Amino acid sequence: MPTAFVPTEIRAGETRVAATPDTVARFVRHGMAVQVQSGAGAGSNIADSVFEKAGATIVSGADSGYADADIVLKLHPPTRDEIAAMKEGAVYVGFVQALTDKDTVEALRDRRISSIAMELVPRITRAQKMDALSSQANLAGYKAVIMAADHLPKIFPMLMTAAGTIQPARVVIMGAGVAGLQAIATAKRLGAVVEVTDVRPAVKEQVESLGGKFIEVPTDESAEDEGGYAREQSEEFLERQRQLVRERILAADVVITTAAIPGRPAPKLVTDEMVEAMKPGSVIVDLAVETGGNCTLSQPGEVVTVHDVTIVGTLDVPATIPENATEMYAKNVLNLLGDMLEEGAPAFDFEDEVTAGATVTHGGEIVHPRVREAHGLEPLPDPKEA
Ligand code: NAD
């Protein structure tokens, strides 16, 4: 019977974990033994005893858990020590940051780990239930608005009272992907006036259906790649966008930035000069801070006040809502691995679009085409032609 291990996430401040009692019970039904490190669920308010009741065995240290595990279920990319503790040939499921972190990929390959990267799950309809980028971004978009509301010295909705009429807060959202769309919906529910910018004209309809006003930036450049992601735009486009959006930002009480380009630094959309010209007391929440930030003055992991503007650079925002974030992430992992299982063990069928799209290393090789390219390796022969 294959054994899966769920370690405690060791990154500072991390509250999430890669399994819940519900997903443990399902893995057990799939014919797996599941070991959970003692305390792994504490940050998400899941006691060891609750994991145990669901069918898990609790192990006290990470080392013995890794040593026994055929499958490791994690969230953050594994550290060198964690990779060294894994059994040779084990299966790893979790984030890898495989397109940007070459060393981790090589360490996984050298240990002959079969690694499945949550960030590479193809964004196709069948894989929506496995899409951890979306599940976590959705929560981050919600929380960004709540954080902004908390720091803002005024309320969001319009209020007509005997003491006078309060005008609604004005919110500008930059980037209308998964996080941005949830931020629009949340800010609208709180009663704000919401304006939105994105490079992909295709999102205009989605923005408007949520009650947001779309700020269009005319472009001849192709804004979207085959995967539905934004392409990196020219400096000339970004300058035009800054000019157009500038006046909306200067009138705003809140700016929430979520703009990202996969594998690239975040585009700089809010400059020092714009922050200086913003209204005193206004708030910027920069969800792109992990990849360098959309605001030039954001500080990763900090809330700073510059030119009387509060700039929130909280890292790992979904970890601030661990109960839902863990629930959704664990479900994404279950759905991904569950589809690959044959008699409790993952089968690597590279003709399957999700397996081929998300597997980084297997059998001592880097097998993912884009990751191979990033490592300067020749493409492997197509399994369909083999
Ligand atoms: P993301 O986190 O990579 O980027 C966030 C947003 O920033 C995107 O909407 C992008 O267009 C935007 N952006 C980039 N540069 C910008 C700039 N200079 N100015 C303003 N905005 C800018 O994207 P995401 O939220 O992970 O996903 C993007 C899209 O992918 C989704 O909206 C959807 O169309 C698609 N998607 C499909 C599926 C699926 O079918 N399974 C799942 C998830 C996402």
Asked if 98 contacts 360 with a C-beta cutoff of 8 angstroms, the reply is yes
List the residue whose alpha carbon is closest to atom 32 of ligand 1: 177
Q: Which of 205, 214, 216, 229 has most ligand 1 atoms within 8 Å of CB, for mutation? A: 229
Asked if 182 contacts 141 with a C-beta cutoff of 8 angstroms, the reply is yes
Nearest ligand 1 atom to alpha carbon 123: 41
User: In terms of pLDDT, which residue wins out, 362 or 264?
Assistant: 362
Least confident of 70-84, 189-203, 220-234: 220-234
Report the C-alpha gap between 63 and 8 in whole angstroms: 11
Produce one character per residue of 75-111: b if its CB has 16 or more CB atoms within 10 Å, e if not.
bbbbeeebbebbbeebbbbbbbebbeeeebbebbbeb
Active site residue 229: yes
Active site residue 37: no
Report the C-alpha gap between 121 and 98 in whole angstroms: 12
Report the C-alpha gap between 219 and 236 in whole angstroms: 10
- Closest C-alpha to 317, from 285, 292, 294: 285
Tokens of 342: 């044959």
341 phi/psi in degrees, rounded to 5: -75, 140
User: Which residues are near ligand 1 (CB < 6 Å)?
Assistant: 123-125, 127-128, 131, 133-134, 137, 174-180, 197-200, 228-230, 233, 238, 258-262, 267, 269
Averaged confidence pLDDT in the chain: 94
Q: What is the pLDDT of residue 386?
A: 55
User: In terms of pLDDT, which residue wins out, 34 or 386?
Assistant: 34
- Closest C-alpha to 198, from 282, 257, 247, 284: 257
pTM of the model as a whole:
0.94
Residue tagged 């599941």 (tokens): 34
Catalytic residue among 48, 131, 198, 286: 131
Q: What is the pLDDT of residue 241?
A: 84
Report the C-alpha gap between 57 and 48 in whole angstroms: 9
Average pLDDT over residues 93-112: 97
> What percent of the chain lies above the pLDDT cut of 70?
98
